[in-house]
Amino acid sequence: MKLKKLICVAIGVSLIAGTMLTGCGGKKEDKTYVIATDVTYAPFEFEQDGKYIGIDVDLIEAIAKLEGFKYELKPMQFKGIIPALTSNQIDASISGMTITDERKKVLDFSDGYFESGTSAVIHKDNTEIKTKDDFKGKTFAVKKGTTGSKYAEDNKDALGGTINYFESTPAMFQEVINGNADITFEDYPVIAYMLTQDTAAPLKILEKISTEDYGFAVNKGKNQELLKAFNEGLKKLKESGEYDKIVGKYINQ
């Protein structure tokens, strides 16, 4: 009887100890986060020699190493990223996404990791369009789901313009080059990088129509531990000077 009682006590102590360990956290879940990006968006994310590179790609890699999380980069068209986030098909996005009040209704954003701005872009030989006042009656080439497309949509009636939609940044640039559209809209660092890389491109930047921050995004109320890790990692990168080195690889500031 005593032996049986001792065995029961030992088992009980073992169970209690196990419960205490679990209550203290136990083994951390070994999760790989699926993070979407739009790989037609140089200098933030693009493919070169079969490898994805860019500011966003380098930032998430550096932050993941600092904060100790695993991730898988998932290339997607930009227009599909927010629906994929809100339906929990992906865990997060780092895709040059502008932080807006409208998007905050369905997404949670990190601290801004890059100050950008949407610029109007025209053919370099276009002498009719000098300011926003000259946008009336013109044809706009825009990429679906971007702040540029929203600007065109919000001002369509006032400007009496025509909007043509495209799936990628290169496609809408080409529309202006071919003379099928008068104006396109793109984030300033993207067009500035492109014109630096391709000096023969017959395009010019007209003016900024807005200034905004890019943010790392998750579905509202979801993956808060990942969002916190991104913010903490971003802060460390800025404090160490590594952030400036990453951005400086792609954009001369």
CATH number at residue 76: 3.40.190.10
Question: Edge-to-edge strands of the sheet including 32-37?
Answer: 70-75, 32-37, 92-93, 217-219, 107-109
- 70 bridge partner residues: 32
The answer to the question of residue 160 being in a domain is: yes
Same domain, 192 and 141: yes
| The two three-digit tokens of residue 208, written as one number | 């900024």
Is 100 in the same domain as 218? yes
Q: 130 and 184 share a domain?
A: yes
* Residue whose C-alpha is closest to residue 207's, from 138, 140, 130, 96: 130
Same domain as 219, residue 94: yes
Q: What is the pLDDT of residues 149-193, one digit of tens each?
A: 999 999 999 999 999 999 888 899 999 999 999 999 988 888 888
**Do residues 204 and 231 both lie within one domain?**
no
Place of tokens 């932050």: 63
Note whether 158 and 100 are same-domain residues: no
Asked if residue 13 is part of any domain, the answer here is no
Does the residue 157 lie in any domain?
yes
Question: pLDDT at residue 23 above 60?
Answer: no
Pull the structure tokens for residue 148.
């540029």
In this structure, the answer to whether residues 132 and 62 fall within a common structural domain is: no
Closest CA to 189 of 35, 51, 54: 54
Q: Is residue 128 part of a domain?
A: yes
CA 233 to chain centre: 16
Question: Quick one: 122 and 193 in the same domain?
Answer: yes
Query: Does residue 203 sit within a domain?
Result: yes
Query: Does residue 105 fall inside a structural domain?
Result: yes
Write the pLDDT tens digit of every residue in 188-227: 888 888 888 888 999 999 988 888 899 999 999 999 999 9
Tell me the percentage of the chain whose pLDDT exceeds 70: 88
pLDDT on residue 11: 40
Residues 17 and 225: their CA atoms lie apart, in Å, by 27
Which pLDDT band holds residue 25 (cuts at 50, 70, 90)? very low
Same domain, residue pair 110 and 184? no
* Residue 162 within any structural domain of the chain: yes
- Judge if pTM exceeds 0.75: no
pLDDT top residue among 53 and 253: 53
Three-state DSSP state, 100: coil
Q: Is 218 helix (H, G, I), strand (E, B) or coil?
A: strand
Residues 206 and 123 in one domain: yes
Which residues span the domain enclosing 133?
118-210
Residue 144 and residue 82 share a domain: no
CA distances for 130 relative to 127, 183, 233, 243, angstroms: 7, 11, 42, 36
Mark whether 189 and 126 lie in a shared domain: yes
Residue 3 in any domain: the answer is: no
Sheet holding 51-53, edge to edge: 40-41, 45-48, 51-53
* Number of structural domains found in the chain: 2
**Strand pairing of 114-116 and 212-214?**
antiparallel
Give the Cα separation of 92 and 115 in Å (integer): 20
- What is the Cα–Cα distance from 250 to 209, expressed in whole angstroms? 23
